Structure 1
């Protein structure tokens, strides 16, 4: 099969021949039509991920055909019996298991879900990892209710956008932050109430003047801004964290206990959450935002675009057959 192959940190990925996977008991071979890029893939190519194996095929998100059926792939395996947290055997497709940046991918048969009929191949491939992370953050961790006010930081990435879209579909009022005025304007066109540029020195004051405070805050950055998020959270509200790209967060604990604020960590999700997410997307006809589509042989250009933070939505690969 043809694949985009990762060989060494810092080296360009190579498009070429790669051994065809052979299904074992309980495994199936999905003929992929599209796959989507995640920050995880970029971090692996930079050597910033444990247990790196080379050569390998990256990619956690994918959609394709199996046995005449249109399917999307649950990228997580081995979560375990406790829905609260994953087992030690939990793995995500695309490292160390070969992933979706190829013409086909080998997965357990129970990793497949029907592709929502309203989605194109590219839109379906953009859904799994971001959709699962966003769904768990909002509905399992934050227990989001209709009418609540939600803040999503760093709008533009796949998870942040899907979080905003799911929250809107659930009847929430959604606000965002971004370092780009253009991304803020594009977010508003999706139905978001408004947002502020976090590069402004007084961004938190601007946001407080616009929206007062928030029932739910979903953050992927951490860093110095996190202390402001704690103050923007209403009494009894919660902050859900799914990343920490800006490093350590320093804040006064008194804001937590006096205001009864909860902080939850989350990443990915259990199998039932994945199915619930797919059903929710189908019911509300939610369409993932696509930034750009690259042919798989042009994969290095896609990695560069994500590494530069230029995207608004998911970067997707079309896969030749």
Structure 2
């Protein structure tokens, strides 16, 4: 099969589009002929993490396609089913944190940037009918991460105000749509005027320049919840916008992972700081029902062929995207 494979050296130079051995399914697995797959920041991370002495692997976590083969012991899935793949392997039941052994499809296991992939049958669900193949292919990782961060961890409620620094990523565009669906107020930030305008078109109530004085722009209004994915570049400014007793949920650190806070200010303010990442398969199914109920679709940025892998990765590396980048297979 044809696939985007990472070999040596580390980083973008090791990305190659080449023939790769088709997967052989094991007991409890299904083989999926992929129709579309989604690019995530994680894919950038793993190609820099992949060790020089490790075997080549197929990159990619997100994907959707048609089941072509089922292994022994599989029930509830049939050949011909149209499915989306939950890439969070080994986390079935909702819990405060992932269980031991949890991993994400696409490193160290072979991933979805290929014509076929083998995955545990318990990690596929029916493709939502209102989504195209491209939309379904980019859905899983970002939509699940957004769902857990906003609802399980952030416990957003109707009428509350949420701040989303660094709008433009797939996860943040999902959180924006989710929050508006349940009646929350949403403020976003970005250095890009184009992205701020796109966020307003998507339903954001306010969009502010990341480099402005947030206190001045917010005019004294504090938020109930901040969902942080930028990290060091915005964390302190984000915390300063939270009302006493409010919550910061963080799931990423795209602009640095070392921060310092005024701990006295923090405990006097009775703030909550929560980490979040991916989610359980129970939450994955809840997320699918939620997007069907509110007819939510991924915000699509651009689509690429496998042969255009370097162009797609470079677009994400340079943070040019607004929404999700897809590979069409």
TM-score normalised to structure 2 length: 0.92
- Counting only pairs closer than 5 Å after superposition, residues 4-153 of structure 1 correspond to structure 2 as 4-8=4-8, 9-10=10-11, 11-45=13-47, 47-48=48-49, 53-66=54-67, 67-79=79-91, 83-153=95-165
CA contact (8 A) 1:53 1:95 kept: no
Structure 2 Cα separation of the partners of residues 245 and 215 of structure 1: 23
Indicate which of 163, 167, 174 corresponds to 1:155.
Answer: 167
Structure 1 Cα separation of the partners of residues 110 and 139 of structure 2: 19
Deviations, residues 16-52 of structure 1 (Å, cap 9, x unaligned): 211011111001001100001011111222x236798
Deviation at 1:79, TM superposition (A): 2.3
Structure 1 Cα separation of the partners of residues 3 and 118 of structure 2: 13
Aligned to 2:283: 273
Q: Secondary structure at the match of 2:49?
A: coil
CA contact (8 A) 2:94 2:279 kept: no
Deviations, residues 218-240 of structure 1 (Å, cap 9, x unaligned): 00122153222222101221000
Q: Secondary structure at the match of 1:106?
A: strand
Q: Any unmatched runs of 5+ in structure 1?
A: none
Q: Any unmatched runs of 5+ in structure 2?
A: 68-78
In 2 relative to 1, CA 166–299 (structure 1 residues): closer, same or farther, beyond 3 Å?
A: same
Structure 2 Cα separation of the partners of residues 37 and 53 of structure 1: 22
1:284 aligns with 2:294: yes
CA contact (8 A) 2:161 2:225 kept: yes
Deviation at 1:246, TM superposition (A): 2.5
- Higher mean alpha-carbon deviation, 81-90 vs 132-141, is at 81-90
Structure 2 Cα separation of the partners of residues 282 and 80 of structure 1: 21
Deviations, residues 161-194 of structure 1 (Å, cap 9, x unaligned): 1111111111111110111111000100011101
CA contact (8 A) 2:162 2:186 kept: yes
Structure 1 Cα separation of the partners of residues 62 and 314 of structure 2: 18
Structure 1 Cα separation of the partners of residues 51 and 206 of structure 2: 38
Aligned to 1:2: 2
In 2 relative to 1, CA 132–53 (structure 1 residues): closer, same or farther, beyond 3 Å?
A: farther
Structure 2 Cα separation of the partners of residues 147 and 92 of structure 1: 34
Query: How large is the Cα RMSD of the aligned pairs?
Result: 1.6
Deviation at 1:244, TM superposition (A): 1.7
1:222 aligns with 2:212: no
Structure 2 Cα separation of the partners of residues 81 and 110 of structure 1: 12
Q: Secondary structure at the match of 2:23?
A: coil
Q: Secondary structure at the match of 2:35?
A: strand
Question: Number of residue pairs matched?
Answer: 315
TM-score normalised to structure 1 length: 0.94
1:178 aligns with 2:179: no
Deviations, residues 64-122 of structure 1 (Å, cap 9, x unaligned): 01121211000011126561111220110000010000001100000001111111111
Structure 2 Cα separation of the partners of residues 226 and 22 of structure 1: 45
